[in-house]
Amino acid sequence: MILCCGEALIDMIPEQTVRGPDGYVPRSGGAIFNTAIGLGRLGCRTGLLSGISTDVFGHQLMADLRASNVDTRYVIRSDRPTTLAFVKLSDGHASYSFFDENSAGRMIAPDDLPGEIDDISALYFGGISLACAPGAETYAQLAEAHARECVVMVDPNIRPSFIADEPSFRDRIERMIKLADIVKVSDEDLNWIIQSADGLETKVAQLKKLGPSIVILTRGKSGAQAWLPDGRSIFVASQKVDVVDTVGAGDTFNAGVLASLSEAGLLTKTAIETVSEHDVAEAIGFGARAAAINVGRAGANPPWRDEL
């Protein structure tokens, strides 16, 4: 099973009301939640480890997880509030205002973690859950405890406006990248992590020296490129679609990549260190196809397997 570890929240999506002004519709979301949903819909055995409230929004999140075949045994329930992310869309691209103080997701602690995680082949981390203590450090400790036996994928998904303590966040991201077997970054993420005048390929090489076997760089409509364990790189073009909005696009891409690698039997420490160019190209291509369907409809709405 692939265990997705991180935030589950409510995206408040603007929609026009019958009287004219925009209102907000609560939709289940969060980068890690979206990837778990995407994996479940693609037919992968997947679970979510996250802090989820017992409030009305928490019930919505739990119902949506179960509806998409996501295992909820590792969910940590509490009566703290659900994180809310108010979304502003501009030409289909999303920006966010977060309300996260004292939330069920943010306040999980190491003592809340399960003593053992059984039947887990891979751990997936990223998103805003790595930015805010104490939950961020809890996830880092989970990765450190299980990185030797599980494949680890990290998508930093940097949101600078959400980072209160930049030195601590940079240290945590570097720790996570050193633990990771697969790192996926956007060009914006990479330029934030490595702030120099060097080109993207030079920055990827610096990132790869920290330890990951595979680094995937996504550039929106310009496609994606991956660097393999032996240093070679491959490029996969993006799908041409009419974009409604980009909410959840990267999360759905990650679900597709993990699903493809899982189906090929490659989510083991040994296999990922020797993965072939063909298998990585297949995984990225599958992720791109899944993401193309997601951006063609409103909000984070990953495709089901039969849609591919």
Instruction: Tell me the average pLDDT across 52-80.
Output: 98
| Closest residue by Cα to residue 37 from 306, 305, 308 | 305
Which range marks the domain in which residue 29 is found?
A: 2-307
In this model, does residue 116 exceed pLDDT 80?
yes
- Strand, helix or coil at 83? coil
How far is 35 from 40, CA to CA, in rounded Å? 9
Cβ contacts of 248 within 8 Å, gap of 6 or more: 29, 34, 294, 299, 300, 301, 302
Mean pLDDT of all residues belonging to the chain? 93
How far is 8 from 88, CA to CA, in rounded Å? 19
pLDDT at 160: 85
Give CA 191 to chain center in angstroms.
18
**Encoded amino acid at 113, one letter:** L
Q: What is the pLDDT of residues 226-267, one digit of tens each?
A: 999 988 999 998 878 888 878 889 999 999 999 999 999 999
| pTM for the whole structure | 0.94
The CATH code of the domain that includes 289 is: 3.40.1190.20
- DSSP one-letter string for 187-233: HHHHHHHS-SSS-HHHHHHHHHTTS-SEEEEE-GGG-EEEE-TTS-E
Cβ contacts of 170 within 8 Å, gap of 6 or more: 193
| Closest residue by Cα to residue 45 from 230, 224, 203, 263 | 263
CA-based torsion, 98, 101, 102, 107: positive or negative: positive
Q: What domain count does the chain have?
A: 1
Instruction: Tell me the average pLDDT across 129-135.
Output: 92
In this model, does residue 217 exceed pLDDT 80?
yes
